[in-house]
Structure 1
């Protein structure tokens, strides 16, 4: 016996449409006492973005089919094996594995053919559209991803730990011996004081604290791949200007003494007769 359709399913879509398709799914879920993930699933399976007559629910068989084959794949004129390849590829983003599964090819053949197939116009179009659909359902844009990467690239270990060395006086029988030695210390900052989204892992292993942040260099490389060429050039020019200024400061080139500048400005304000009057004054012992 088929499971009865949850009445909240249609109510969720109605709330979304009444809001002009602007309501957030998590807010709808909260109103209906459902999990946001459940409402996102309904939106995907029932294709809320497509127009339908009010009060009509999708036929169960059509909904199952649409869930199995996304709209971007179903409407494509690409061969069936290419469609299967795309759906498999989006599961693991592994072209070799997807090609082996879709075409029944061996590893060596799939390793070469899989990467080539990613360059196929129809395949690339399906992948791009499916990624856009997935991002919409997750309420995530490319800018959201880039902002997270930028946070990872700027992460500083000093925001999470306090470390240094302390001078400790040796004691013997409770009395100082006059011998001093250094003791290193490392303290984690309290969880409430830091951004935990940048922490990859934290653990205590054999009495030692291990804190790992996400790879800064990897995040920077990803950012550079996604930044426009103009933005990369502006950053490079800015870095070059800063480096040149630092070199000039080290060499004393272009450095202006603030005190001398102030005295020169004050002197420039004096009238000629005032300067002569000051010059005529006798020196005092």
Structure 2
């Protein structure tokens, strides 16, 4: 039950060459007793995993709604530009030139859900954190979850909220109709 390949399994069990294993592996798979044993083993393996399709969907949901903010924290500081020869760099109004420095840190390891992190490494320009593909996870969820039911009243209430907000912002001029 390692590779789900009859030829490979036959080679491992009988120490046979590829040609012999290829011929006899398929014959062995036709045996009803072997089929039943394999089905029982698969069932036992599934029970041992304690894994359901809901568990997989839950992992996709975590990936779909994860954010770099769950993994990193950052600190932005203003610093004054300096020149080694002239000291503080001044602008045309003789004010010190300021720039922003951003430091990026990983959150404490215990606070990170590592199941949403694809990789972390130090790149040429600093820390590189890569999460699993959110769009792919969302597509998988959309394909497997039931479609949302939208009623006419739901559409009307959304449309009415948009119209009301637009009128409040003077984006729409006219009657209440």
Normalised TM-score (structure 2)? 0.55
- SS at structure 2 position matched to 1:155: coil
Give the count of matched residue pairs: 132
The 5 A counterparts of 1:46-125 are 87-88=4-5
Greater relative CO (CA pairs within 8 A, separation 6+): 2
Partner Cα separation in structure 1 for residue 57 and residue 43 of structure 2: 16
Question: Which digits, 9 at most, give the CA deviation of each residue in 1:65-87, with x for residues without a partner?
Answer: xx79xxxxxxxxxxxxxxxxx93
Q: Show structure 2 runs of 5+ residues with no match.
A: 9-20, 24-38, 90-95, 169-177
Partner Cα separation in structure 2 for residue 242 and residue 158 of structure 1: 33
Out of 52, 63, 80, the residue aligned to residue 141 of structure 1 is 52
Q: Show structure 1 runs of 5+ residues with no match.
A: 1-66, 69-85, 92-100, 104-127, 254-285
Partner Cα separation in structure 2 for residue 158 and residue 196 of structure 1: 13
Confirm or deny that 1:222 pairs with 2:140: yes
Largest Rg, 1 or 2: 1
Partner Cα separation in structure 1 for residue 82 and residue 143 of structure 2: 58
Partner Cα separation in structure 2 for residue 187 and residue 155 of structure 1: 17
Deviation at 1:216, TM superposition (A): 1.0
Partner Cα separation in structure 1 for residue 101 and residue 54 of structure 2: 45
- Structure 1 residues 242, 102: CA separation in 2 closer, same or farther (over 3 Å shift)? farther
Partner Cα separation in structure 1 for residue 157 and residue 72 of structure 2: 29
Partner Cα separation in structure 1 for residue 97 and residue 119 of structure 2: 39
Confirm or deny that 1:194 pairs with 2:112: yes
Residue matched to 1:205: 123
